[in-house]
Amino acid sequence: MKKNWAKNIKNVVLHPFTWIMLILLIKIIAFQIVIFDNKSFFHILIVEFPMWALFLTIFIILFKERKWLAIWLYNLGLSTLFIVVIFYTRYFSTVPSYYDVKQIYQSNSVGGTVALLGTPYDYLFFLDVAVILPLIWYFKRGDSPRSFANAKKWAIGFSCVGLITTIIAFFYPLVDVSYFAKKHGYIQSQFVQMYERSIGKAFAENEYLSDKDLAKLKGNSYVPFTEHDTYGLAKDRHVFVIQVESLQGFTIKQSIDGQEITPNLNALLKESAYFDNVYQQIGAGNTSDAEWLMHTSLYPEGMDPTVNVIDNGSEIPSLVRTLKDNGYGTATYHADDITYWSRDKLYPALGFDYIYTSEEIPNEKEIGFGPADEVLFNFVESQLPNHLNEHDKMYSNIITLTNHTPFEMPEEFKYLDLPDEYEGTYVGNYLQSVRYTDEQIGLFIKQLKKLGIYDDSLVLIYGDHSGLHGAPVTEKDYEILKEILGHGYNLQDRFVVPVIFTAPGIFHGETHSQLGGQIDLMPTLLNLLGIEHNTQMIGHNLFQYKHNLLGMRYYLPGGSFISDNTLYTAPSAKHPAVLYNRETMKKTKNTKNMQKRIDNTLQIMQYSDYIRKEMEEE
């Protein structure tokens, strides 16, 4: 009896299936610790491991005579996937979904940053790929058809466990993908997302919210659009919207050793209304999501770049179409490949008359991965006279490119004389890059004056998203930022983007500090122009309303909100829920109104999704 027991134990220990599954389990444990800080062996063994083991077992069954090749390829592919997920999470601070696989072709836009994300320890995920080779040699010496004879039985077992955990996952709301993946399994979270995107949303219904309802949810008393104090102040003016890549609010009015980081933007403030408390609200689409927010006043998709949900041939009610209906010619300029972030679908869907991208804008003075902003603005200036001959009023949407990670500028374009300790740092590079783009904006404003249209124009300048975030920002960078800011770099420093409405003769250097989001830019602009939009907007006129309630997807966990006095981050894969006082950015106690704000935020965002879905189906 004892001999049989010992023999059985020996057979199990020496069986190749035991070894490959043990190696896989160790890899899954390492992945869970690195990505989710999950150290629960029971959770990993029951929830996470069976799904990955099932796919490996299926490979073994399908490959038949080449099962060892299948095992090796599976582990190589899994190691590569885990490294991609780790790098992605370090940069974007969120766990990627299957949506993001479709965006691999965009990788050249952050290619220079990839080297900053990895550590030598990451590549230990490939150690098992090497370890398996001697195992293959050892077990193939006496290999027989019965070596993996029980694979089908194991596949059934793994399937049963995986099916149970997946079914359980479907009973929970998917508010934040990273947190959901930690609790219910990475693969299970992908299945739930597929369902939500393809089937679940098709059956989604939402209670209609009027403009009055939206105002109330944000804490305001509704005022009809045409009765706002700012309605029509800039009527019939030319409009220039400059979306500045990676421009963060803390750079405005900021100096280093007596040198202004943004001297030209600072000078513009004298003829502007400056909003210093506006938050980015982009999702996975980053810059393209900022364009979506600007031109629709609707929330972006979140985990999927919003451009991916736009069908070819769509005609989206937008700022562009509304301006065209009111006599404007419309043009957009971006010195990038039009296929990146599917702008070949986005721009026609928004309705631009003229679309200028890397095909039209000369590839000169290349910095990073495109023409320098100097070339972009020169091209805009060259097109304006023709546009003004064709149209009485012009709307020009200009997307800058140079101030993009990793922010490495040629020596001749470094206009700041920074302290020695800034040399070679990510923050130092960023400040030089911001200063360069600021210079080009200043030169462009001078050209508008030379053309004689500046005094008849409304210029909106805003940042699309943060530039300083994720693994590229080192401890030394944080020390420099603390020295610049006078406090530790926090979420408010990261997420607040500058918003400047410049209108000569109308504004005279006023600063507004009420809470706003990028979703509010379109209604604010239209109100100044005295133009009503023909479909509902989720944002509101920043000049009129003093209270706000903002949501953010992707860069904050689902269920997070930003209110007048607090910033709430919902629980994520690695961090518990936290409520901050926005004035001090110190943790504060939960208030009795917190759950109501969470519910109101989710209701507003879900209603935005409903409006977008209705647009797609029309």
Instruction: Flag whether 464 is marked binding.
Output: yes
Confidence of residue 552 (pLDDT cuts 50, 70, 90): very high
> Residue 25: pLDDT above 50?
yes
- Condensed to tens digits (0 to 9), the pLDDT of residues 366-379 reads 998 889 999 999 99
**How much of the chain exceeds pLDDT 70, in percent?**
91
Q: Which of 471, 472, 489, 466 is nearest to 554 (CA)?
A: 466
> Residue 201: pLDDT above 80?
no
Q: For the stretch 373-396, what's the b/e string if a residue is b when 16 or more beta carbons lie within 10 angstroms of its beta carbon?
A: bbbbbbbbeebbeebbeebebbbb
Active site residue 89: no
Average the pLDDT over each of 213-217, 335-339, 561-565 and give the range with the smallest value: 335-339
Residues 45-57, mean pLDDT to the nearest whole number: 91
Task: Give the CATH superfamily of 211-413+437-469+484-617.
Answer: Alkaline Phosphatase, subunit A (3.40.720.10)
pLDDT of residue 52: 92
Q: For the stretch 547-573, what's the b/e string if a residue is b when 16 or more beta carbons lie within 10 angstroms of its beta carbon?
A: ebbbbbbbbbbbbbbbbeebbbbbbbb
Are 274 and 502 spatial neighbours (Cβ–Cβ below 8 Å)? no
Instruction: Flag whether 287 is marked binding.
Output: yes
Calculate the average pLDDT of the chain: 88
**DSSP secondary structure string, 266-330?**
HHHGGGEEEEEEEE----TTTHHHHHHHHHH-S---SSS-GGGGPPTT-----HHHHHHHTTEEE
CA quadruple 133, 138, 143, 149: dihedral sign: negative
How far is the CA of 475 from the CAs of 247, 427, 481, 482, 486, in angstroms?
21, 11, 10, 11, 16
Are 607 and 536 spatial neighbours (Cβ–Cβ below 8 Å)? no
Determine the length of the chain.
618
Confidence of residue 145 (pLDDT cuts 50, 70, 90): very low
The number of beta carbons lying within 10 Å of the beta carbon of residue 618 is 9
**Tokens 């026609």 identify what position?**
348
Q: Which two structure tokens, joined as six digits, stand for 441?
A: 């904006």
Angle between helices 151-170 and 186-195 (to 10 degrees): 60
pLDDT of residue 606: 92
Q: What is d(CA 591, CA 500) in angstroms, rounded to the nearest whole number?
A: 33
223 or 139, which is more confident: 223
**Pairing between strand 561-563 and 457-463?**
unpaired
185 or 311, which is more confident: 185
pLDDT of residue 10: 47
- Condensed to tens digits (0 to 9), the pLDDT of residues 414-430 reads 999 999 999 999 999 99
Backbone dihedral angles phi then psi of residue 558, each to the nearest 5 degrees: -55, 135
pLDDT of residue 246: 96
> Residue 150: pLDDT above 90?
no
Q: What is d(CA 25, CA 34) in angstroms, rounded to the nearest whole number?
A: 14
pLDDT of residue 107: 47
90 or 583, which is more confident: 583
Residues 152-180, mean pLDDT to the nearest whole number: 84
Q: What is d(CA 561, CA 580) in angstroms, rounded to the nearest whole number?
A: 11
Average the pLDDT over each of 113-117, 136-140, 462-466, 577-581 and give the range with the smallest value: 113-117
Q: What is d(CA 612, CA 590) in angstroms, rounded to the nearest whole number?
A: 33
pLDDT of residue 313: 78
561 or 129, which is more confident: 561
Domain residue ranges of the chain, discontinuous segments joined by +: 2-202, 211-413+437-469+484-617
Residues 597-607, mean pLDDT to the nearest whole number: 94
383 or 97, which is more confident: 383
Backbone dihedral angles phi then psi of residue 242, each to the nearest 5 degrees: -115, 105
3-state DSSP of 225-282: HHHCCCCCCCCCCEEEEEEECCCCHHHCCCEECCEECCHHHHHHHHHEEEEEEEECCC
Residues 263-289, mean pLDDT to the nearest whole number: 96
Residues 436-460, mean pLDDT to the nearest whole number: 97
Instruction: Flag whether 566 is marked binding.
Output: no
pLDDT of residue 360: 95
Q: What is d(CA 59, CA 155) in angstroms, rounded to the nearest whole number?
A: 10
Instruction: Flag whether 404 is marked binding.
Output: yes
- Condensed to tens digits (0 to 9), the pLDDT of residues 53-108 reads 899 889 888 887 788 888 889 989 999 898 888 887 877 777 777 766 555 545 44
| Contacts of 148 by beta carbon, 8 Å cutoff, 6+ apart | 16, 17, 60, 67
Q: What is d(CA 155, CA 160) in angstroms, rounded to the nearest whole number?
A: 9
pLDDT of residue 467: 95
> Residue 113: pLDDT above 60?
no
* CA end-to-end distance (rounded Å), the chain: 74
Residue 354 CB-half CA count within 13 A:
23
Q: What is d(CA 74, CA 76) in angstroms, rounded to the nearest whole number?
A: 5
Instruction: Flag whether 15 is marked binding.
Output: no
Catalytic-role residue among 89, 165, 251, 287: 287
pLDDT of residue 142: 58
- Give the three-state DSSP class for 90: helix
Q: Which two structure tokens, joined as six digits, stand for 146?
A: 């019965």
